Every structure is written in C-alpha cells, then in structure tokens.
Structure 1
C-alpha cells in the first residue's frame, strides 16, 4: 500500500478534479496530512466515515485510512439523512470527513479540524455502538431493495485482489486517463475505477459529479457527460445501463467526442445486448460485467479478446461460480461478510441471481430468483427477460413487468425521452414482443414516472424496487387486468 504510487514518475498527474492536479508527491503529501489528523484525534483507532463528492481528497482519505489500518465507511450522497444516521450507528464511526461543517453538525459530529485538505475532519462526542470486526478496512453499505442499508465488511486484500485482476485484464489497452463518472462511495467506481487506475499508472480524473453529468440522486445529462469525456480525453469510464442508454440516444455513429475511449465497463444491472451492439456502432467500446458488494464489486467481466455479448463475461480468476439446481448463481472465493456476522471467506454465497454458464465459461444473468413471475397458465417468467427486450428497443428508459398469477404480462414503462409518444411506445412493445414467446410477451402497458432513488422506486445502481413500485401503482396495475380495453 505504501508503495502504491511508486510506479508514477514525479511529474505525472495521479489525480485531478479538473482544476487542481496532484502528482505523486502532492498526493502523498495530502495523504500524510490526513494520517496526521487521524492519529491526533480523540479516538485514533475508531472507524472513519466520509460524506463527500468525488475529488482527489476523497481518494487521499481512502488511502490514508487503509495505511493506518482503520475502517472507512463511505456515505453515499444519494442516501437520505435517516440512512446516514443508520449507517453511522451501525458502523460505530467516531469521525466524519465532509465538505460542509453543517453536514457534520447535523449528524452529531461537531468538533471540526481543518487539516489543510479539501475536506473537514469532524468528530463526535463519546460514541457507543457496535464496532467493526478486526480486519475490516471498508464497510460498504447498499440500500439494495429495502430502505435500510446493509453493511458489507471488506479487507484490503479482498478489495485489491479485484483491482489486480481487473488491471491484468485491461493492461493491454494502455489506459492512462480514467474519468470517474460514478460516486467513489459506490464500490464499483472505488475499486474498478480508482484502484484499478492506480495499478495501471493512470490519471484518475475525478471532478464533482455534476460536472460529468450526474445530477442529484438519479438525474443524468448525457451532453454534459459527453463534453467531459471529450474535454478530459478519457480513455476509460464505468457506466450504469441507464447512463449508457442515454449516451447512445445522444450520439450518432462516428461521434468524435467518443474517439478517445478505449474501454467502457457497464454494470449494476442487466444490459440489453441490442444496446451494447448499438453503443459500439456509435463508438462506445462497451464491455458488460457483473458484481456484488460481498465480492468487492466485480465478479465477472467481458474483456477485449474474451467477450460474448449477452453474457457478463468470464469469472475473475480468483473466484469460483457454480449454478445451483434451481438455477441460482453461487459464488465462492475470499468473500466479504455482513456487519455483525462472522467472516466465512470460503463459503458459497447464494447471490439471488439466476443464470447459466456456457461451454466456454461465459456467465449469463437471467434475472432475480425472488422476482420470478408465474403466470395464470403456470409458466415461469423472469421479468428481466421481457424488460431487457423493451430496453433494447431504444424507446424505453425503464420498465417493470408485472403479471404474477395473471393470464398475461403487462408493463409499467418510462419512455427514453419526453418526446417519445404513446404510438412509439406501442411500436417498441411490438418490436420487443417479436423476440419473446407468447407467454412472455407484453399485452398491456401504462406510462409512469421514472423510477429513481429519490422517489424510492430504484436502488442506487438503477435496479427497480419492484414491491414498492407495485404498491404505488396498484390501482393502475389492477386496471390493466380489470378492463377488456386493449391498451397495447
């Protein structure tokens, strides 16, 4: 860890926020300041939380806590204040790095120290509560499909093992500029982005997220993102499927703004094969992957020379994957553990995802086990199957398919843009149905508002919270089956 920056030449930029650039010596100096502040606080061994936008200072805190053997607890900006309070209580954090003093004060961290960095170190009064287990260097909290975040404890070895595997996979591309488009508080960008870039000797470009297109909890401006890609001449980026869809809609084949890109990873939710093919036509070298917080993010990834569109790639070398009798994907290999539970690094983790592995070792995701719909005719359908077909049309931004126990399937649909009308959605439904057997086709549909973390209808990575959505739209869903009117 201490020699992590040794591969950088003294004048090569390690990290930049777009206005301030840190070379090796400058970043090491900033890390040293963080370390001094942490070792001279009232509780120098307590867990440390961070609530901040992307910046080189976020990275400095991350690396400093790891060097000191402390536990870092990232607080996603898209969490609610109640979720922040829950995370802080569960983790037992005694200090908080934040950008605004009022943020710390509102969470009970009122004693503030200006250590000469871009963030403030705030301390709480004597704080009780559970303490992380020894060896936990990061506790990543994910809201998943509920409103109560759940913590996963990860060691440094578990995190860097993934980063090293990814570095080996992309080393042949010679990537020297990675633009961070996802929050560092999200494990995918933290490890697959920042850590992998450090191992590659690449510059991490990490401006505030608003400058790269992310707006609040769920908004995304593809034009702002495209301008950032071109301005920084980014060679690699990481996207969620909805971000990829927006970029494809905002570009055309041969778009010069994309010419600098060499590798675009997409993950967090299932990505339609049609979308990946269209993205590549537009100049986005997209490679889909699959990951879990318990596995320090990435489990499998398509790579140049080892890819299969429709799959999430081959499993990383240090992981083992098997398919249970009911089709559930199970993973083993140096796993993290949930906060409050004992570590079991060699156990098989039941992922809750359904899938299969082909003869060449490529992993395919078919949906969530608990989301399976059983139609009134007894056919089992993963809703992600027709949803993926809908998303692949280009006219649909989000979709939730319903119909458990019903004679046919229906869909709640969010158009890709405000300009798309009902006739275009009807055409998109028809196009999607061409690739589906009759029992999996969408017979009726309604248009709904976007599913976002802000309204509680989506997780941070864009997965719909199906139960909450169906509760919210219960009356409209009932009307799809209570009427003989043919809506689709």
Structure 2
C-alpha cells in the first residue's frame, strides 16, 4: 500500500456556499468582465455586477414560481451562457441543480428527473421540451418547465418582479458548505446512472485548490477560458465554477463544429478539453500539410517538437542545434498551430482519458503545454493534475492539494478529501460499496511514483484475462491505437480467448480525405474501404504502434473494422465518450466471433 498527499492551499468557508462567489466578485471587481457572451456572432463582455443582477433576477422568478429551499431543478441544455446563469440562479433560490445531457433520450430524462424528484426543469429547445413532456405523466413531482429558446430568462425576470433583492439574498444564505449543490448522474457504462451528490464544500475544495495550484493560469483581468465541454459533465462544471472563483472571463461554445472559429474570435489564454480534441487538432494539421505537399516538413517539425520537449526534462536541456531547429519550425509550423488554438493560449488542462506521452511532448514542444489530470464525477472532477511548474508527461499529476491518493494492495486507486461526493442519491447500497471509512474506491488501477505522481493503468473491472491466463488492461493499447488519424474508436477483446483482438471504427471526418489522397473514388462506403489493402495496412500500422506499448502476450493479433460508429445515439458510448463495453460486446458478438473463428 502506498499513499501521497499535499497540504491544502485553500480553506473551505465554514458556513458559506457558492453564491458567495458572485456577490464577492460584484463587490470587489464590479467592472471586470467575468463572462463573454456571444450575441449575433459577436462576443460581448458581462461584468461581475451585471452577472450578479441577472442571476438575482432569474432567482426571483424561481422563487415566485414556488421553488423552495432544497428543491431539485433539472437543467437540460447545450453549453451556453444561460446554463451558468441558471446554475447560479438555482443556487441563489436555495435549490439544487440536476444536470441533464442535452442528448438524453426521453427514458433517460424520465429516470434522472424522476429519481431526483425534480419539481421543475429548464430546457433549451422545443425538442428537449417535447422529450420532457412525453414522460411528464410519469413525473408526479414536476410542476414547471421553462424553455430558454422561448424566453425563459425574460419570463423568470418578469415573474419575479415583486421579489426584493433582500429576499433573494436571504434565500441564498440558507445553504451552508455541506448542503447539496448538485446531483450529477454518472454516465453509467453499465446499468442505471447513479446520482452523485456534490456539496458546496466539494466545489470549494476542488476549485479553490485547483485555482491556487494553477494560479498563474487564473489571473483576474487577464486570463480567459472558452468552455466547450458539456456543463452537464462534472469537468465542464469545474471549468465554470473555477472561472467564477478566480475570477477570470468565461466564454461558452455550444457547437464544437464551430470550435475553431470560436477559439479564433474569443482567444482564450487557457483551454480545457479531452484528448480527442487535441488529437483532432494534430491530425487535421498533419493531413492539411500532407495535402499541400508539406507532409515531410510537418513530420520533421513534430519530431523536433517532441525531441525539444523531452530535452526539457534533462539536466542539460535542449542542445544548441535542437534549439535552432526549434526556432525555425516555430516560424514555419508551431506558430500556425498555436493560432488554430486562438493564438493566446499557453496551457491546456486535459482530462477524461489518457493524452499519451507523444502528444503531450508534441504540444509542450510547440509552446502549448497540456497539463494532464484525472478525476471522476464522484471526485468533483480533478482529483489529480500536473502542476504548471513541475509537469511529468505520462502521468496524471499529483493529488489535489488537501486530498490523499492511496494505492491499495490490489492496485486500486483510493481517494480521500473534502472534494468527494457524499452519497449516491436514493442508493444506500451503492454508496456503502463505493465509500468505506472515508475512502472512495475508484475502480481504477494505478501507481504512484516517489514524487507522488499518479499513473492510471486501467480499470479494475475491465481487466481481461486471456485463455492463457494473461491479465490485459485494455486502456493502454486502446489509447495508442485511437491516437491514429484514421481511427475513431478501438475496443480490445479477448476475455477467455486464446489471444487479444480489437474492434475498430474509422474516423468519418478523416476517411474521405484519406480516400482522396490515395486516389480512391469519391463516395465509397466504409464497408468498401475497409477491404482496401492500403487502408488495412494503415490500420495495421496503428495497431502495431499500440502493440509497441505492451508485451507480446497483451498485443492485438487480429482486428475487425466495423462499418458503423460507436456513438451516444447508438448506445455504445456514454455522454462523456466512455465505451459501454458490455453493450458493444453484445451488439457486435458476431464480429468478435469472426476474429477468433479462423
């Protein structure tokens, strides 16, 4: 057993709650822009004083509608300014926010709103309202539905005109640090989603220590962050609350298809994302260079960036010749890549899945440091992250200050700290199984080095055991294979089988470009291309690269390309893009059998 901890850098207020932050900002920084709101294609600043006034107005409307202290209110919307506004308004009315993914089915909506006992729900669009209405007869507690695209904010403001600021402030003060702030339903790779109860203390401990440990990245009046992750996900919520806590300017990007344009116009100094975003930026830039006949230059630049970053970790540092090459490629390649990310960002925080050492070194080498972290819904997002001044690429960093990470005898990662959830809502048995003597059992397998840096090597429940008795952690090889531009998803199989195989899906965005570059007719289907010898060879190279990270007994011997995608709509991934392995295995049982039939 091994454990590591760091002293807390932030003291959680004994009797406060998260609404204190917006009143403090309005008092201390009234004219500082704390939000950037896009209106008619242009970004408009929202000052701390204006944001507080808008939150109060919405909270008054909720109170006038009969919302009581402790009531649960569903919030179903894409990532947009109104999400953050309503979240703080719900808290200001003394209520508890229950996020619902905007892509949720009617059945999922019914479960989340019904299990939480939500008395009201704010939705974004007519389609979302229709989904709620379709199950309303099974939601006896639900009394009100407001729709953002049907003037929900204006309607709440008008309804609450008779409620005074003093009444709102009195209601805002009712919750203390140990009161529930939100119930976030875990995506659930198996079974029904569980509602994680996160208190105001959880967010104070989490965001306060993140902001303090990464202080140079959270500079009031200078720093800004563009939030494009779903705010229904706890990582997106961390971004929101930490930005308000600092405070720094927070922008919202509801459609990731427009992310490049939004980054260029908002120009954030800090980016928080998942590895797939950073993989896409790299792969798209490489493909563009290849299409322009500059592929060799890009590859040499990438290798220079990686070598330069690796040299930064040595005592001697980059050699003179490497520094010259780096300076040249900074003008030819690296500067253009930083421009794609908005031009001002120097750092990113990456979570949700492993980034990979090669990509970590590449980004640091171009002057854009991706700080990898690790966390779960139950840990209020990040429970470990790389510090800005002592990064160890290939790890998920040190524990959140004020918390403890322990590696149990069987390798499981255990957590302790004020940032942890308190219970699963209405699920005492699951709570007892996950929380024991103040320690949360994550189900992840990991290691701690001598400096307290954590490395995650797999999931306890996802370990495969081949017929030969070899234990295989799928995450290591899957992440390496998935990093290839052609690959969308990869799922390793082989439990009880003679060898390890893999199901692979192809990236729908990159595939047409590959086909054009290799002279294939336009419009060929995935099924047709999956039989193409050159494409099969390219996928094999991705598999070979993955195999290089593991032993021979753990390596993928055969793979099968699927003619479809693993999506949330198909039921094969969660909203946070984690594979539902049991569903994939069931739906593609025949393809798995085909791997072993020969």
Q: TM-score range by the shorter chain?
A: 0.7 to 0.9
Deviations 1:13-36 (A, max 9, x none): 221231254212221111111211
Shift of 1:285: 2.2
Q: Which runs of 5+ in 2 are unaligned?
A: 1-18, 137-141, 160-177, 287-332, 515-534
What's 2:459 paired with? 368
Q: Secondary structure at the match of 1:139?
A: strand
Superposed, which structure 2 residues align to 1:423-438 within 5 Å?
Answer: 423-438=537-552
Shift of 1:345: 9.4
Inter-CA distance 345–68: structure 2 relative to 1 (3 Å threshold): farther
Aligned counterparts of 1:185 and 1:57: Cα–Cα separation in 2: 13
Shift of 1:242: 1.7
Shift of 1:281: 4.1
Shift of 1:110: 6.9
Superposed, which structure 2 residues align to 1:47-58 within 5 Å?
Answer: 47-58=72-83
Aligned counterparts of 2:483 and 2:187: Cα–Cα separation in 1: 27
Q: Does residue 575 of structure 2 align to residue 460 of structure 1?
A: yes
Deviations 1:251-308 (A, max 9, x none): 3541222331122111112222222223334554211111111111110011211221
Superposed, which structure 2 residues align to 1:201-216 within 5 Å?
Answer: 201-207=247-253, 209-210=254-255, 213=256
2:211 to 161, 164, 167: 167
Q: Does residue 106 of structure 2 align to residue 86 of structure 1?
A: no
Aligned counterparts of 2:427 and 2:595: Cα–Cα separation in 1: 44
Normalising by the residue count of structure 2, what TM-score does the alignment of the two structures yield?
A: 0.72
Shift of 1:386: 1.6
Q: Does residue 151 of structure 2 align to residue 151 of structure 1?
A: no
1:242–1:462 CA contact under 8 A, matched in 2: no
Inter-CA distance 187–8: structure 2 relative to 1 (3 Å threshold): farther
Shift of 1:476: 1.0
Aligned counterparts of 1:242 and 1:10: Cα–Cα separation in 2: 37
Q: Does residue 64 of structure 2 align to residue 40 of structure 1?
A: yes
Q: Does residue 237 of structure 2 align to residue 190 of structure 1?
A: yes
Deviations 1:47-95 (A, max 9, x none): 2111122222221221122233311111111221111111111111111
1:397–1:414 CA contact under 8 A, matched in 2: yes
1:50–1:74 CA contact under 8 A, matched in 2: yes
2:352–2:576 CA contact under 8 A, matched in 1: yes
Deviations 1:362-383 (A, max 9, x none): 0010110011111122111111
1:251–1:282 CA contact under 8 A, matched in 2: no
Inter-CA distance 80–190: structure 2 relative to 1 (3 Å threshold): same
Q: Secondary structure at the match of 2:504?
A: strand
Q: Which runs of 5+ in 1 are unaligned?
A: 124-133, 214-220, 484-488
1:18 to 25, 38, 45: 38
Aligned counterparts of 1:9 and 1:359: Cα–Cα separation in 2: 42
Shift of 1:196: 1.1
What's 1:303 paired with? 387
Aligned counterparts of 1:72 and 1:245: Cα–Cα separation in 2: 33
Q: Does residue 181 of structure 2 align to residue 137 of structure 1?
A: yes
Deviations 1:119-156 (A, max 9, x none): 766x9xxxxxxxxxx82121001222035221001111
Inter-CA distance 324–112: structure 2 relative to 1 (3 Å threshold): closer
Aligned counterparts of 2:154 and 2:458: Cα–Cα separation in 1: 41
* Structure with larger Rg: 2
1:451–1:458 CA contact under 8 A, matched in 2: yes
Superposed, which structure 2 residues align to 1:223-242 within 5 Å?
Answer: 224-242=258-276
What's 2:492 paired with? 401
- Higher relative contact order at CA 8 Å, sep ≥6: structure 1 or structure 2? 2
Q: Does residue 345 of structure 2 align to residue 261 of structure 1?
A: yes
What's 2:424 paired with? 338
Inter-CA distance 43–32: structure 2 relative to 1 (3 Å threshold): closer
Superposed CA RMSD in Å reads 2.7
Aligned counterparts of 1:454 and 1:81: Cα–Cα separation in 2: 12
Aligned counterparts of 1:391 and 1:282: Cα–Cα separation in 2: 22
Higher helix share: 2
Aligned counterparts of 2:146 and 2:543: Cα–Cα separation in 1: 57
Q: Does residue 277 of structure 2 align to residue 243 of structure 1?
A: yes
Shift of 1:434: 2.8
Aligned counterparts of 2:195 and 2:154: Cα–Cα separation in 1: 24
Q: Secondary structure at the match of 1:143?
A: coil
Shift of 1:227: 2.2
Aligned counterparts of 1:371 and 1:111: Cα–Cα separation in 2: 42
Matched residue pairs, number? 462
What's 1:216 paired with? none
Q: Secondary structure at the match of 1:6?
A: helix
What's 1:5 paired with? 25
Q: Secondary structure at the match of 1:264?
A: strand
